[in-house]
Amino acid sequence: MRGTLGEGIGASAEVQSSNIRVAVRVRPFNERENSTSSRNSVKVANDKLLVFDPKDEDDNFFYHGVKQNNRDFTKKAHKDAHFAFDAVFAPESTNEEVFEGTTKAVVDAVLEGFNCSVFAYGATGAGKTHTMLGTQQNPGIIFLTVMDLYRRMEELRGTKKFEISVSYLEVYNENVRDLLAQSNFLTIRDNGNDGITVTGLSLVKPNGAEDLLSLLKYGNSNRTQHPTDHNAESSRSHAVFQVWIKQSDRASGLSNNFKVAKMSLIDLAGSERGCATGHTGERFREGNNINRSLLALGNCINALAEGRRHVPYRDSKLTRLLQDSLGGNCKTVMIAAVSPSSVTLEDTYNTLKYADRAKNIKSNVSNQV
């Protein structure tokens, strides 16, 4: 099952009022969940609606052909909660379908000069990194976005000239590190109208799509990962991959007649209860830092959704980096990844709660002319 976020993303107006577009992807049960007595806690009703912890009497709710009975969480306060989003993707959905329904329209928008962001949010093991990065056999959204971007630029090459630059960083234990170059920890600065910048972050100009994807692969190999009890390859850092697109009209002949837009593709580390990580010491500390930064992100989402004057971006390095994406001059897509298993009932509800609030975040965006 697939949805679409295309409406309103690729419009040509110079200034637009834009809400964060929110999609939810429900992953399939994994081997660990299949080997336990966990039950399905999420029902995808259609491509825009899902039900959290559905009622027992819903005769159409089956898992592997078996009616879900004898539920052990009947007293949960949020039982049978309905959530509506811009798009909802069922467990059988592919990365290609998620890309088509969320990020493909972002490519058009960034080529029209709008800054755009796509970020995956959810608990550890919920499928964020699979959605954003995928595998060689099943590429994720970043790969599909890059290929579509270069395809669209090729179509426009007769009238437009393009220059692409990329950067890749991670936030680990509240330190910012360049994933494309050896460096000391980097500093985040707010440059007023120019937005948030990272001092010393390398900016690389790739020679085509394959070179860009090689940079992505190299950056991924430098990213901090450690196994936890819930995820054998848990990303322990937040990763921000950014593509700058500078374009000009071939007919103008003026070197200063150009526009630059930025596309940010973000894979967040997953929240995880300390007792669930299976670690103490350094692993426990990094888990606490991840949770604190995600709590700060949740507080910013709450403040923006409620229209508060003060938004606590400075509470973490992550929220400072996401300031433009959340409340700045940027069109943003949030992909909330959830597990359907009752084992992760609390994590799934928290993810859906923040995704539901994020729908209310609105900003005025203009293309970078």
Strands 49-52 and 81-84 come out as antiparallel
Residue 350: how many other CB atoms lie within 10 Å: 17
1: buried, middle or exposed (CB in 10 Å: 19+, 13-18, 0-12)? Answer: middle
129 labelled binding-site residue: yes
Q: Is 317 annotated as a binding residue?
A: no
Q: Cβ(92)–Cβ(29) under 8 Å?
A: no
**Element spanning 337, H or E:** strand 331-338
Q: Is residue 8 a known part of a binding site? A: no
Strand partners, 176: 171, 186
* Residue 128, marked binder: yes
Q: According to the annotation, is 127 in a ligand binding site?
A: yes
10 among annotated binding-site residues: no
Dihedrals phi, psi of 16, to nearest 5 degrees: -135, 150
Please tell me the distance from the alpha carbon of residue 123 to that of residue 138, in angstroms, as a whole number. Answer: 21
Distance CA 16, CA 83 (A): 26
6 annotated as belonging to a binding site for a ligand: no
User: How many beta carbons lie within 10 A of that of residue 99, not counting itself?
Assistant: 24
Backbone dihedral angles phi then psi of residue 362, each to the nearest 5 degrees = -130, 145
124 is in an annotated binding site: yes
Nearest partner of 329 among 113, 144, 141, judged by Cα: 113
Annotated binding site for ATP: 122-129
Annotated binding site: 122-129
